[in-house]
A and B are shown apart, each in its own frame.
Chain A
Amino acid sequence: MKILVVDDSLFSQKMLIRLFNQYLPESEVIVASQALEAFELYKKEQPAFVITDLLMPEVSGQELIRLIMDYDSHANIIVISADIQKSTRAEVMASGALAFLNKPLTDEVTGELLTLIKETPHA
Chain B
Amino acid sequence: MLNPMQKDALTEIINVYIGKAASMLSEMVNQRVILSVPEVELIAFTQDGQPSKQLPPIFSSGHIISSSIRFGQTLKGKAFLIFPADQAKLLVNVCLGEEPVIQESEELVAFIDTDFDVLKEISNVILNAIIGELSNFMDTRVHYSLPDIELIYVSESEGTILLKENTYLLLLHTTFLLSETPVNGFILIALSMNSVSWLLEKIDALLEA
Q: B132, A9: Cβ atoms under 8 Å?
A: no
**Does B146 touch A at the CB level, under 8 Å?**
yes
The CA of A9 and the CA of B95, in the complex, are separated in Å by 14
How many residues of chain B have a CB within 8 Å of chain A?
24
0/1 per residue, B113-148, Cβ < 8 Å to A?
Answer: 110011011001100110011011000111010100
Q: For the complex, is B24 an interface residue (Cβ under 8 Å from A)?
A: yes
Could you say which residues of chain B place their CB within 8 Å of the CB of A57?
146
Instruction: Please give the number of chain A residues whose Cβ is less than 8 angstroms from any Cβ of chain B in the complex.
Output: 19
Could you mark each residue 44-55 of chain A with 1 if its beta carbon is under 8 Å from any beta carbon of chain B, else 0?
A: 000000000001
**Quick one: which of B2-44 are within 8 Å of A by CB?**
24, 27-28
Looking at chain B's contact residues, the main secondary structure is helix
- Report the number of A-B residue pairs with Cβ-Cβ less than 8 Å: 55
Q: In the docked arrangement, what's the CA distance between A55 and B135, Å?
A: 17
Check A10–B114 contact: CB distance below 8 A.
Answer: yes
Listed from nearest, the 7 A-B pairs whose CB atoms lie closest are A84-B132, A82-B128, A87-B141, A82-B125, A9-B121, A11-B118, A106-B27
* Bound Cα distance A59, B133 (Å): 25
In the assembled complex, the CB of A16 is this many whole angstroms from the nearest CB of chain B, namely 12
Q: A11-B117, A57-B146, A84-B136 are in contact. Are A103 and B141 (CB under 8 A)?
A: no
Cα-based distance from A55 to B120 in the complex (angstroms):
12
- Knowing A10-B114, A104-B27, the reply to whether A83 touches B121 (Cβ < 8 A) is no
Residues in A whose Cβ lies below 8 Å from that of B114 = 10-11
B135: which A residues are within 8 A, CB to CB?
Answer: 85, 87
Identity of the chain B residue whose Cβ is nearest the Cβ of A56 in the assembled complex: B146
Contacts of B24 in A (CB 8 A): 103-104
A103 to chain B: closest residue by CB:
B125
Say whether B146 contacts A104, CB under 8 Å: no
Chain B: which residue is nearest A8 at the CB level?
A: B146
Q: Is the CB of A88 within 8 A of B125?
A: no
